[in-house]
Amino acid sequence: MALADPVRRHLIARLSRGPATVNELAEPFPISTQAISKHIQVLEQAGLVARTREAQRRPVHLVPERLEAMTAWIDRYRLVKESQFRNLDRLLDQDSTPGRDRAPDTRRRPS
Protein backbone atom coordinates (compact mmCIF):
# COMPACT_ATOMS: atom_id res chain seq x y z
CA MET A 1 0.00 0.00 0.00
CA ALA A 2 2.79 2.43 0.82
CA LEU A 3 4.03 2.45 -2.77
CA ALA A 4 0.59 2.40 -4.38
CA ASP A 5 0.54 6.20 -4.63
CA PRO A 6 2.58 7.83 -7.42
CA VAL A 7 3.60 10.72 -5.14
CA ARG A 8 5.14 8.28 -2.65
CA ARG A 9 6.94 6.43 -5.44
CA HIS A 10 8.34 9.77 -6.62
CA LEU A 11 9.46 10.56 -3.06
CA ILE A 12 11.28 7.21 -2.86
CA ALA A 13 12.95 7.91 -6.22
CA ARG A 14 14.05 11.36 -5.02
CA LEU A 15 15.37 9.98 -1.72
CA SER A 16 17.40 7.38 -3.61
CA ARG A 17 19.67 10.31 -4.57
CA GLY A 18 20.13 11.31 -0.92
CA PRO A 19 18.35 12.70 2.15
CA ALA A 20 16.03 15.69 1.79
CA THR A 21 13.83 17.87 3.96
CA VAL A 22 10.05 17.97 3.63
CA ASN A 23 10.30 21.36 1.90
CA GLU A 24 12.85 19.99 -0.59
CA LEU A 25 10.64 16.97 -1.26
CA ALA A 26 7.55 19.17 -1.73
CA GLU A 27 9.15 21.48 -4.33
CA PRO A 28 8.17 19.62 -7.53
CA PHE A 29 4.59 18.95 -6.41
CA PRO A 30 1.53 21.20 -6.66
CA ILE A 31 0.46 20.05 -3.16
CA SER A 32 1.14 21.43 0.30
CA THR A 33 4.06 20.50 2.52
CA GLN A 34 1.45 19.15 4.94
CA ALA A 35 0.26 16.71 2.28
CA ILE A 36 3.87 15.68 1.61
CA SER A 37 4.33 15.15 5.36
CA LYS A 38 1.35 12.79 5.36
CA HIS A 39 2.87 10.81 2.49
CA ILE A 40 6.15 10.62 4.41
CA GLN A 41 4.28 9.34 7.47
CA VAL A 42 2.85 6.49 5.38
CA LEU A 43 6.35 5.63 4.14
CA GLU A 44 7.67 5.81 7.73
CA GLN A 45 4.95 3.46 8.97
CA ALA A 46 5.96 1.01 6.24
CA GLY A 47 9.58 1.28 7.40
CA LEU A 48 10.79 2.57 4.04
CA VAL A 49 12.01 5.97 5.25
CA ALA A 50 13.16 7.53 8.51
CA ARG A 51 13.78 11.06 9.77
CA THR A 52 16.88 12.16 11.59
CA ARG A 53 17.72 15.39 13.35
CA GLU A 54 20.60 17.58 12.22
CA ALA A 55 20.48 20.79 14.26
CA GLN A 56 17.28 22.50 13.05
CA ARG A 57 16.85 20.21 10.03
CA ARG A 58 14.95 16.93 10.05
CA PRO A 59 15.98 15.25 6.81
CA VAL A 60 14.16 12.21 5.50
CA HIS A 61 16.25 9.31 4.22
CA LEU A 62 15.65 5.83 2.85
CA VAL A 63 15.94 2.72 4.98
CA PRO A 64 17.94 0.56 2.55
CA GLU A 65 17.51 -2.71 4.46
CA ARG A 66 13.74 -2.49 4.18
CA LEU A 67 13.90 -1.71 0.46
CA GLU A 68 16.29 -4.62 -0.10
CA ALA A 69 13.94 -7.00 1.72
CA MET A 70 11.02 -5.76 -0.37
CA THR A 71 13.03 -6.13 -3.59
CA ALA A 72 14.02 -9.69 -2.68
CA TRP A 73 10.37 -10.57 -2.02
CA ILE A 74 9.29 -9.07 -5.37
CA ASP A 75 12.12 -10.84 -7.23
CA ARG A 76 11.04 -14.20 -5.86
CA TYR A 77 7.58 -13.80 -7.41
CA ARG A 78 8.94 -12.22 -10.58
CA LEU A 79 11.15 -15.26 -11.19
CA VAL A 80 8.19 -17.64 -10.76
CA LYS A 81 6.09 -15.64 -13.23
CA GLU A 82 8.94 -15.42 -15.74
CA SER A 83 9.32 -19.20 -15.60
CA GLN A 84 5.58 -19.63 -16.21
CA PHE A 85 5.73 -17.29 -19.21
CA ARG A 86 8.72 -19.17 -20.65
CA ASN A 87 6.75 -22.43 -20.35
CA LEU A 88 3.77 -20.83 -22.06
CA ASP A 89 6.03 -19.51 -24.85
CA ARG A 90 7.38 -23.04 -25.39
CA LEU A 91 3.88 -24.48 -25.61
CA LEU A 92 2.76 -21.81 -28.05
CA ASP A 93 5.87 -22.34 -30.18
CA GLN A 94 5.19 -26.08 -30.31
CA ASP A 95 1.56 -25.51 -31.26
CA SER A 96 2.46 -23.16 -34.11
CA THR A 97 5.22 -25.31 -35.60
CA PRO A 98 4.55 -25.71 -39.38
CA GLY A 99 3.65 -29.22 -40.48
CA ARG A 100 2.77 -30.31 -36.98
CA ASP A 101 -0.18 -32.68 -36.94
CA ARG A 102 -3.08 -31.11 -35.21
CA ALA A 103 -5.97 -32.88 -33.56
CA PRO A 104 -9.04 -33.06 -35.78
CA ASP A 105 -11.74 -30.49 -35.26
CA THR A 106 -14.50 -32.33 -33.40
CA ARG A 107 -16.84 -29.37 -33.02
CA ARG A 108 -20.29 -29.89 -34.49
CA ARG A 109 -21.10 -27.69 -37.40
CA PRO A 110 -24.65 -26.58 -38.14
CA SER A 111 -26.31 -28.59 -40.90
Three-state secondary structure string covering the chain: CCCCCHHHHHHHHHHCCCCECHHHHHCCCCCCHHHHHHHHHHHHHCCCEEECCECCECCEEECHHHHHHHHHHHHHHHHHHHHHHHHHHHHHHHHCCCCCCCCCCCCCCCC
What pLDDT, in 10s, does the model give residues 49-104?
999 887 788 999 999 998 888 888 889 888 888 999 999 999 898 877 666 555 55
* Cβ atoms of residues 6 and 29 within 8 Å: no
Q: Which pLDDT band holds residue 37 (cuts at 50, 70, 90)? A: very high
Query: So what's the pLDDT on residue 57?
Result: 85
Using the predicted structure, report yes or no on whether residue 38 has a pLDDT greater than 90.
Answer: yes
